[in-house]
Amino acid sequence: MANDSSQDLGTKPISKLIIKQALPASIGILVMSLNILVDTIFVGNWIGATAIAAINVVLPVSFFIAALGMSIGIGGSSIISRALGGNNYQKALKTFGNQITLTLVLTMTLVTVGLLFSNAIIDSFGGRGAIFEPAKTYYEIVLYGVPVLALCMMANTVIRAEGKPKFAMYAMMIPSVSNLIMDYIFIYVLDYGMAGAAWATTLSYVFCLAFIIWFYASNKSELKINFSHLGLNFPIVKEISSLGFVTLARQAVVSITYLFMNNILFDLGGETSVTSYAIAGRMLMFAMFPVLGVTQGFLPIAGFNYGAENYHRVRETLNIAIKYAAILASIVFIVLMIFPEQITRMFTTDAEVLRQAPNDMRWVFVATPIIAWQLIGAAYFQAIGKAMPALLLTLLRQGFFFIPLILILPKFFGELGVWISFPISDILATIVTAYFLNREVKKNLIPKDV
C-alpha cells in the first residue's frame, strides 16, 4: 500500500529511521552548499569579478522568496506529519493543496512587484555603476524562475514529511548538478555571459520541479491531491503561517546578523577581519551539514509519532537525535580545532588573513559540541506544532543573545569581544533551550501506559 512508507515512521526502530531520514538530507545540504561555492568560482573565472558582484546583488531578493516557499513547506509539513500520524489523511491532502496555492499566490505577487520596480530594487541592493547592467540581466531572467524555486523548496519538505528522504535528496541534488552542467554549456561553451548564468540557474529550478511533479504523479507519493484541495482553508492557512513564520524569521535574523557583523568587524579590524568572518561563515555552511541533516531527519519522525500519541517514541527520537547530532558536532569541533590553518589556506594566501582567521575560527566553533541541544530542541517544538516556543527558541541564539553581545562586548574587549560572542551565545541558548525542552518532555510526553 502507498501509505506504508509514512506509517513506518511510527513502527520501525528510531535509530534506523533517523539515519534513513538524516543521511539523504545531509547529502542534499552538502550538494547545495558545494553548488553555491563552485557556481561562484565558474562565474568569477569565466565572466569576471563584476559578475560575482552582480549575482550577489540579486541573491537577497531570490533567497527571500525561496525562504518564503521553504517557510510554507516547513509549516505545512509539520501539520502533514501529525495528520498522517493521526490517520487524518484528508487534512494532510488539504494542507498540501493549501501550501501549493499559498506559494504560488505569494511568490507571483512578489515577482510582479519585483519586475515593476526592478531598477529601484537593483540600485537599493548595491547594483550601481558597472554592476547595474549585468545585475539587471541576471535579475530579470532569474526572477521569472523564482516561483518555481519556491515551489521546489516547499514540496521538498513535504516529500520528507511523507517519509521519502531519498526522493527529497534527489530533488535537492537535481538543480545543483544541472546548474553546474548548464553553467559550463551556456557560459563557457556558448559564451552567453550573464544571461547564460541566469538561464542556467532558472532552468535548473525547472528540472527540479519536473522531478517533483513526476514524484507526485507516480505511485511513489501517497498525497494525491485534486483541485478541491487547492481552495484556501483559513484554519490551515493560519497554522501554516504561524509555524512557517519560524523559518522566515530565522532567515531575517541571519541577514541582520551578517549586516551587523560586517560593519562592526570592518570598523574594528578592516577588510582582514571581514574576510576572516567570511571564511568562518563558509565553514559553518559546510561543516555543520551533518548536524543539520540530523535535525531535518528528526522533524518528520517526531511530528508523526506526536500526532499518533506515541509519546515514548517521541522521547526516544529526541534522545537519539540529540546523541547523534552531538557526536557529529564533536567531530566537526575536533577537526576545526586541529586544522584551522590548513582550512584557511584553502580560501586565501593573504598573509594577514592566514595569521588571524585560524584563531577566529576556533572561537566560532569552540562550543559546537553542545549546539545539538539547541538545534534539536527548537526543531522539536516546530515538529509538534507549537509555533511560539519554536519561534522564540529558534531566534534565541542569534536574535536574543548573539546580536546584543556583539553590540556590547566589543566596547570592553575590542575585536575579541565579537569572537567570544559566538561561544557565549551558544552556551546561553543551549542552557535555555534545554530547560524548556526538559520541562515540555516531563509535562506532555507521558507514555499512555504510565
DSSP codes joined into one string, 388-407: HHHHHHHHIIIIIIIHHHHH
- What's the one-letter identity of residue 297? G
pLDDT category of residue 1 using cuts at 50, 70 and 90: very low
Amino acid at 323: K
Angle between helices 193-217 and 132-161 (to 10 degrees): 20
CB of 382 closer than 8 Å to CB of 243: yes
In this predicted structure, the answer to whether residue 180 has a pLDDT above a threshold of 50 is yes
Distance, CA of 210 to CA of 204 (rounded, Å)? 10
Domain ranges of the chain: 1-232, 246-449
What is the average per-residue pLDDT within 221-240? 85
Burial 265-302 (b: 16+ CB within 10 A, else e): beeebeebbbbbbbbbebbbbebbbbbbbbbbbbbbbb
Rounded Cα gap, residues 296 and 81, in angstroms:
13
269 versus 50: the higher-pLDDT residue is: 269
pLDDT band at 450 (very low <50, low <70, confident <90, very high): very low
pLDDT band at 420; cut points 50, 70, 90: very high
Q: Which residue has the higher pLDDT, 259 or 327?
A: 327
Highest mean pLDDT among 121-135, 153-167, 259-273: 153-167
Mean pLDDT check: name the lowest of 20-24, 42-46, 94-98, 174-178.
Answer: 42-46
Look at 253-262, 299-308, 439-448 and tell me which has the smallest mean pLDDT. 253-262
Higher pLDDT, 128 or 422: 422
- Look at residue 271 in the predicted model and tell me its pLDDT: 65
Return phi, psi of residue 311, to 5°: -65, -30
Residue 36 is predicted with a pLDDT of 62
Grid cell of 402 as nine digits? 548573539
Per the structure block, which three cell numbers stand in for 241? Answer: 503561517
Give the pLDDT confidence score for residue 38 in this predicted structure.
64
Position 432 scores a pLDDT of 92
Check residues 340 and 285 and name the one with the higher pLDDT: 340
Write down the residue that cell numbers 593573504 correspond to: 350
Phi-psi region of 129 (alpha: psi -120 to 50; beta: other; left: phi over 0): left
* Cα separation, 106 vs 70, whole angstroms: 12
Residue 224 has pLDDT above 90, yes or no: no
Query: pLDDT grade, residue 199 (50/70/90)?
Result: very high
Q: In whole angstroms, what is the distance from residue 88 CA to residue 53 CA? A: 49
| pLDDT score of 171 | 87
Q: Is 163 helix (H, G, I), strand (E, B) or coil?
A: coil
Residue 227 burial by CB count (10 A; 0-12/13-18/19+): exposed, middle or buried?
exposed
pLDDT tens sequence across 63-121: 777 778 888 888 888 888 888 878 888 888 898 899 999 999 998 998 899 889 888 88
Q: Please tell me the predicted confidence (pLDDT) of residue 209.
A: 94
- Mean pLDDT for the chain? 82
For residue 247, the model assigns a pLDDT of 73
Q: How far apart are CA 362 and CA 340, in angstroms?
A: 7
pLDDT in tens, 272-308: 777 677 777 767 777 777 888 888 788 888 888 887 7
Asked if residues 379 and 361 have their Cβ atoms less than 8 Å apart, the reply is no
Q: How many CB atoms lie within 10 A of CB 1?
A: 6
Whose cell is 531572467? That residue is 141
For 9-36, the pLDDT digits (tens) are 777 878 888 888 777 777 767 776 666 6
Position 405 confidence tier, pLDDT thresholds 50, 70, 90: very high
Task: Mention every residue, 6+ apart, whose C-beta is less than 8 A from residue 149.
Answer: 62, 65, 66, 69, 175, 205, 208
pLDDT at residue 363, as a whole number: 92
Weakest mean pLDDT among 42-46, 187-191, 331-335? 42-46
Q: So what's the pLDDT on residue 39?
A: 65
Q: Based on the number of CB atoms within 10 Å of its own CB, is 449 exposed (0-12), middle (13-18) or buried (19 or more)?
A: exposed
Reported as a pLDDT band with limits 50, 70 and 90, residue 37 is: low
